[in-house]
């Protein structure tokens, strides 16, 4: 009888290991649908950081974002790291005061905030009132749609000039770029085009974790 807790412990440990090992992998259904991984869960191979490179690290199968302002640009082989119409899915966990963003149609630059492409906001409790899944500075979301310290699924779909975002399969933003969009100041480069994906390190108090980063190219 005393062996039962031991066996249960083994089973639980095996289950936890199985769950952990399943991260950053495609299911057979995802592979059949054309999904491809951008992050291997072990390293930053295929990614290039700007400014404070130590802001980005890999731990427990996650990209950990913590440190001074920096941006991590995808420069790997998928799609030649140049995407136009696509669907992007990633799991995100924010921590109190965390602020980050997922850029698309952007390009590497060594310093500063990316001047090209759109930013999908990631922020559940930072003093900036613009919340997760809005298009920063273009079509902002001011409602809390996720919580700190909990994993949530963020999905971004770009089809032509239409951009949609979801959190845990709830549609948050549906925006179609105007024929002649008006952009001023820091937002002049917020335009549909093509480019890569980038993750934002916003400030030294912002901690964000990313995993299961995958993309599906659309016609």
From residue 89, alpha-carbon distances to 97, 127, 186, 189, 212 in Å are 23, 26, 27, 23, 7
Per-residue pLDDT tens for 154-180?
999 999 999 999 999 999 999 999 999
CB 102 within 8 A of CB 122: yes
Per-residue pLDDT tens for 6-19?
444 444 444 443 34
Q: Which is it for strands 207-217 and 35-37: parallel, antiparallel or unpaired? A: antiparallel
pLDDT at residue 18 in the model: 37
Task: Look at residues 22, 77, 21, 69 and name the one whose alpha carbon lies nearest to residue 47.
Answer: 77
pLDDT at residue 150 in the model: 98
Each residue's pLDDT, cut to its tens digit, for the chain (219 residues) gives: 444 454 444 444 444 433 444 799 999 999 999 999 999 999 999 999 999 999 999 999 999 999 999 999 999 999 999 999 999 999 999 999 999 999 999 999 999 999 999 999 999 999 999 999 999 999 999 999 999 999 999 999 999 999 999 999 999 999 999 999 999 999 999 999 999 999 999 999 999 999 999 999 999
pLDDT at residue 1 in the model: 43
Task: Look at residues 178, 179, 139 and name the one whose alpha carbon lies nearest to residue 156.
Answer: 139
162 CB contacts (<8 Å, ≥6 apart)? 174, 175, 176, 177
* Percent of residues, the chain, with pLDDT higher than 90: 90
**CATH class given for the domain over 26-217:** mainly beta
The owner of tokens 């770029």 is 177
Cross-strand partners of 118: 104
pLDDT at residue 15 in the model: 46
Rounded Cα distance, 217 and 165, in Å: 16
Q: Which two tokens stand for residue 48?
A: 């290039």
Instruction: List the chain domain ranges.
Output: 26-217
């Amino acid at each position: 009888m005393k062996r039962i807790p031991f066996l249960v412990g083994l089973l639980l440990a095996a289950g936890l290991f199985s769950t952990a090992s399943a991260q950053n992998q495609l299911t057979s259904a995802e592979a059949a649908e054309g999904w491809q991984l951008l992050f291997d869960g072990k390293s930053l191979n295929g990614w290039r950081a700007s400014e404070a490179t130590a802001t980005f690290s890999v731990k427990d199968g996650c990209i950990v974002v913590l440190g001074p302002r920096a941006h991590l640009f995808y420069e790997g082989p998928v799609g030649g790291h140049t995407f136009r119409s696509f669907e992007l899915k990633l799991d995100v966990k924010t921590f109190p005061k965390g602020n980050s963003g997922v850029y698309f149609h952007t390009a590497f630059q060594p310093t500063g905030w990316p001047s090209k492409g759109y930013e999908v906001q990631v922020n559940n409790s930072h003093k900036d009132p613009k919340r997760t899944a809005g298009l920063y500075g273009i079509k902002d979301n001011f409602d809390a749609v996720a919580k700190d310290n909990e994993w949530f699924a963020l999905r971004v779909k770009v089809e032509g000039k239409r951009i949609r975002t979801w959190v845990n399969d709830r549609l948050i933003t549906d925006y179609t770029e105007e024929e002649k969009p008006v952009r001023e100041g820091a937002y002049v480069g917020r335009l549909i085009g093509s480019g890569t994906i980038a993750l934002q390190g916003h400030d030294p108090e912002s901690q964000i974790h990313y995993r299961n980063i995958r993309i599906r190219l659309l016609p």
